[in-house]
Amino acid sequence: MLRRLPFSPWHLLLMPLALLFALPLVQMVLTAFMPDGDINRFPPRLIPSRLQLDGFIGLFTESQALRWLLNTVIVAAIAVLAQLVLCSMAGYGFARLKFFGRNAGFLMILATIMIPTQLLMIPTYVMFSRLGLIDTLAAAFVPWLASAFGIFLMRQFFLSLPAELEDAARIDGCSTFGVFWRVVLPLARPALATLTVFTLLGSWNDLIWPLVAISDESLYTMQLGLANFQGTRHTQWSLLMAGNVVATMPLIIAFVLAQRQFVATMTFSGLKG
């Protein structure tokens, strides 16, 4: 990495672009720590005159942001755990076990990939309200418990594993579940990481479905809370930006920490076509 490289003209393209992509986020963080006076004067200051925590204090005292954050963490954690268990099991079943209706079942799952969520919103809303799920936290996580994408991803991965590994375990007297749990699943880490990334991103950032399914303010997710908060606090930018920081930073930190893995898994998941 420290090898001396000659200056490349590509820097002339990449440097401004990188700044263009990063600076709004820097401004978001700076604004969250900025006194409102700095923002509302003309011309506004881009660099705060002093740093203060009023935005965050205001956010946590004047809204239920802590609650929203907790709700989001619960929803995302349940979604990720459920997808890891259910999708890996289904993926293994469809890849390796022979049973009645396997092909029909898998074809049906493939077909659902084409169906957009907008189409499902109305009947799902009606179905959930009849089941008494509307305005519960369950409404936010139930649609994320399993996904066709997850099943497909795990199946592709299991198909790529050599079958000899499982045969050996089976000859040693392992049950089907034992083979899955002790032999196959530990090998599936890269695929499980991919699934975690996509489920986490999707469930953490979801807005339209919570917007439809949840109206009780104490059950808001962070995204929903922020979006509604924005409508009422249009001028209190330090508050809004503090909310934005709270909503995005956990994922950004997770991304920076796991960047190598993240990019590798995006590549692995076959998204390159």
* Positions in 22-51 near other proteins (CB under 8 A): 22, 24-25, 27-28, 31, 39-40, 42-44, 46
State which of residues 47, 50, 61, 98 lies at the interface with other proteins (CB under 8 A): 98
Nearer Cβ to other proteins (112/218) = 112
Position 176 contacts other proteins (CB under 8 A): yes
Structure tokens at 112: 């659902």
- Evaluate whether 158 touches 95 at the Cβ level (below 8 Å): yes
Q: Smallest gap, in angstroms, from Cβ of residue 171 to other proteins?
A: 18
State which of residues 49, 112, 132, 218 lies at the interface with other proteins (CB under 8 A): 112
The CA distance from 270 to 273, in Å, is 6
State which of residues 67, 170, 187, 255 lies at the interface with other proteins (CB under 8 A): 255
Using CB under 8 A, which residues numbered 114 to 143 contact other proteins? 114-127, 129, 142-143
Judging by beta carbons within 10 Å of its beta carbon (0-12, 13-18, 19+), is residue 90 exposed, middle or buried? Answer: buried
The CA distance from 235 to 53, in Å, is 17
Name the residue type at position 260. R
Using CB under 8 A, which residues numbered 60 to 79 contact other proteins? none
| Residues in CB range of 201: below 8 A, 6 or more apart | 251
Position 257 contacts other proteins (CB under 8 A): no
Position 56 contacts other proteins (CB under 8 A): no
| Residues in CB range of 32: below 8 A, 6 or more apart | 55, 56, 238, 241, 242, 244, 245
The CA distance from 87 to 255, in Å, is 23
Candidate segments 61-69, 81-89, 161-169, 184-192, binder of other proteins by CB under 8 A: 81-89
Using CB under 8 A, which residues numbered 195 to 254 contact other proteins? 201, 204-205, 207-208, 211-212, 223-224, 226-227, 230, 237, 240-241, 243-244, 247-248, 251-252
Candidate segments 48-56, 84-92, 164-172, 188-196, binder of other proteins by CB under 8 A: 84-92
Q: Smallest gap, in angstroms, from Cβ of residue 151 to other proteins?
A: 6
Position 101 contacts other proteins (CB under 8 A): yes
| Residues in CB range of 62: below 8 A, 6 or more apart | 239
Count Cβ atoms below 10 Å from residue 3 Cβ, excluding itself: 4
Q: Smallest gap, in angstroms, from Cβ of residue 84 to other proteins?
A: 11
State which of residues 159, 172, 256, 257 lies at the interface with other proteins (CB under 8 A): 256
Q: Smallest gap, in angstroms, from Cβ of residue 136 to other proteins?
A: 16
The CA distance from 71 to 141, in Å, is 10
The CA distance from 270 to 165, in Å, is 24
The CA distance from 223 to 208, in Å, is 9
Q: Smallest gap, in angstroms, from Cβ of residue 121 to other proteins?
A: 7
